[in-house]
Structure 1
Amino acid sequence: MRFIWGKKEFTLMIIPGANRRTVRFKLPHSSLYIVPSVILLVLIGFFVTIYFMNTHSHRTRNNMQQVFDGQERQLVDQITHKNSELEQLQANLIDLSQQANEFKLKLEEIKKIDHVIELMSETEGAKGTSKKTAAPSTQQPKGKNSDIGGSDVPVTSQDVSLLVNSTKEGLFSLVGDINALLLHLNESEAKLKEAQYVSSITPTLWPTVTHSITSGFGVRIDPFTSKPSMHTGFDLDGEMNDDVYATAAGKVVEASFDNEHGNHIIIDHTRGLQTEYMHLNKMLVKRGESVKKGQKIGLIGTTGRSTGSHLHYEVQKNGVPIDPNPYLKTDRKDEKP
């Protein structure tokens, strides 16, 4: 290859070899500067492009690394938070299990109370049979401030699973026990209320402070005719204006005077039972009035067919006088049912 210089142009000759045609190119003289300049510009553009591509790639890589690092930190924080939540859930589960055990013990105490209520209703005369209650556990739950100790052994998933199953079964069992106990408590409450009502309307109190009987129930010699007669109640000795009390709760159906009974009060206690209080000096209740068991209703006197101050007391069952003695069981006049 040879350059042939001219005035305004030069010739580029390419001689490939022997016996081959020589190739000639005529180029303007300015191309000697233009071509290298173009080549130089191309090279500069190429290197600039490579530089910016590398810079952009580096920035992109840095940005991606920052995003990745941020996501990694966020993921680590989430895992730490989840672990903390899991530990809190495990602690709550343990507390729930302990509370379930404590509630079991309280439930056993309630069962005891229920048993006592049932016994009370039986004692008061209500019908019913007692049910056996399970003996309370002797293991007492430990409080948070109790003195405890032991090795710090990590909890396994199997331990947690067993605790969950145990607590779940315990809670299901508690729900069943509570439902059964509520039903039984309602039955016991109804029995106790019935027993209390029966006790309140049963004339078991003595009508006077004194228990001195001057004439009992049954056949006796009449003090006025000196002939045998049927005495339909008790004559209780007492001083003038001593207090007279209702022997059971009920409604006053009679509060009046006649020549035989004097001032007398009849109280209806329902279920066919009535009591009568005769020869009173003063009546403190009126017909139609409701009275409570142990309430003061009059004062001892000697009105009507009487030889002296005393109280004639009768108990009537379905209109027939009966012996008051089996009913007079409670000594204290102010004892409530």
Structure 2
Amino acid sequence: MKRVQKPKWSFVVLRGADKTVKQFHVSKRSVFAAPTAVVIAVTGCIAGLQIKSAYEMNQLEEQMSQQDELFAQTVSDKNEAIVSLQQEIIVLSEQANEMKEKIDDLQELELKLKQFIANYGSKLETSTYLTPIDKSETTVKILSDTPSSGNRSFNDSKQSKQFVLLAQETGLHLADLQRMVETMEDSLTLTLQLAQATRVSVDAYPSGWPTRSKMLTSGFGYRRDPFTGRTAFHAGLDITGKLGDPIFSAADGTVSDTGFNNSLGKYIIIDHLGGLQSAYMHLKEIEAKEGDIVVRGEKIGLLGSSGRSTGPHLHFQIMQKNEPVNPLPFLSLIKED
């Protein structure tokens, strides 16, 4: 039996007129297999490239994810720093306002003390020395290293924390200054209270002249009685004046008694601190009532000549624990015409 020969494809290569001809015989299977192999090879290359691209894409996505997380953390840190700084600024602003109020209070206290010293400085001895407060020199300054919001930005969370610490340190400085101002205010308040207490004591001391006239007709002590001609004890001062001249309280006090006596005439008695009393006798009119609270220099009556009197005058008398004492050492101004 004859073997059937499979058909083959022949390829003839002509290299030139003077060259030999090359002939190649290729089977039909090889003709179809070669393109298939080429297609498979190309497909494999494409698949490899796709796998490599997918791998590189995954790597890039992981890097971007990590960068996004880092960026989000940085933004979160900066936001926290900004919030913290805003809170610190609010606290500093409140402290600055409180200090302004404290300084205003100190200025008011200082003004009161100056007025007090101006009115009573010649009568008081003080051991407290006050330093004038200049509001323009007492200012609160935030450190010059603090950046402004318009010309500087945060570079990283570490720098943000530094700004927060700086703001906190500035707050501590303000707190120390505020405590110092509060101490000064307490000191000035105490000084003013002591000065006012001293003023009360001074004003309650019967040292004010009770009449416009300063002319004495009789002093404290023994003298010849103008009615009997005998030597008798005179328990006060006789101050002459015009009929109807005003009579003033010698000090702050409470009117304890008013009335009329054949010897004393119309009279007023005022109680003062320390068991002291002042008496005003031979008045023309009594303008104060029992129980009235009077102050130094307040008008309480009119000069007269009522009772046992030789003419218009005021009998001024001071008693200490119901015993008459010489009024001259009590009076702050004496002038004999």
Same fold (TM over 0.5): yes
Cross-structure match for 2:329: 326
Give 3-state SS (helix, strand or coil) of 2:201's partner: helix
Counterpart for residue 47 of structure 1:
45
In the other structure, the counterpart of 2:145 is none
From 302, 313, 317, the equivalent of 1:299 is 302
Distance 1:283 1:182, change over 3 A: same
Structure 2: 5+ residue stretches without partners:
8-26, 142-162
Q: Distance in 2 between matches of 1:179 and 1:294?
A: 38
Cα gap change, 1:5 to 1:254, in 2 (>3 Å): farther
1:187-235 per-position Cα deviation (integer Å, ceiling 9, x unaligned) = 4233212211111101111101111111111111111101111111111
Alpha-carbon contact 1:265-1:278 (below 8 Å) kept: yes
Aligned counterpart, 1:249: 252
Amino acid at match of 1:253: S
Shift of the alpha carbon at 1:49? 1.3
TM-score, reference length from structure 1: 0.60
1:212 aligns with 2:215: yes
Query: In 2, distance between residues paired with 1:65 and 1:258?
Result: 115
Change (3 A) 1:245 1:37: same
Q: Give per-residue Cα distances to partners, 1:38-86, cap 9 Å, x unaligned.
A: 534532431221332354456557667877887899999999x89x99x
Equivalent residue number for residue 284 of structure 1: 287
Query: Quick check: 2:214–2:239 contact (8 Å CA) kept in 1?
Result: yes
* Partners of 2:205 and 2:273 within 8 A in 1: no
Q: Secondary structure at the match of 2:274?
A: coil
Amino acid at match of 2:50: F
Report the aligned-residue RMSD: 5.1
Other-structure match for 1:19: none
Count the aligned residue pairs.
267
Verify: 1:239 aligned to 2:242, yes or no: yes
In the TM superposition, what whole-angstrom CA distance separates every residue of 1:235-271 from its partner, at most 9, and x where no partner exists?
A: 1111111100001010000111111111100000121
Provide the C-alpha distance between the structure 1 equivalents of 2:6 and 2:140, rounded to a whole number of angstroms: 113
Equivalent residue letter for 2:297: G
What TM-score, normalized to structure 2?
0.60
Alignment partner, residue 197 of structure 1: 200
Using the TM superposition, give the Cα deviation of residue 279 of structure 1 relative to its aligned residue in structure 2, in angstroms.
Answer: 0.7
Partner of 2:159: none
Return the alpha-carbon distance in structure 2 between the equivalents of residues 141 and 251 of structure 1: 46
Where does structure 1 differ by over 6 angstroms across 4 or more consecutive aligned residues? 64-79, 133-136, 140-144, 166-173
Query: 1:173 and 1:37, CA in 2 relative to 1: closer, same or farther beyond 3 A?
Result: closer
Cα pair 2:210 2:250 within 8 Å, conserved: yes
Q: How far apart are 1:5 and its partner, in Å?
A: 7.1
- Of 254-263 and 187-196, the range deviating more from structure 2: 187-196
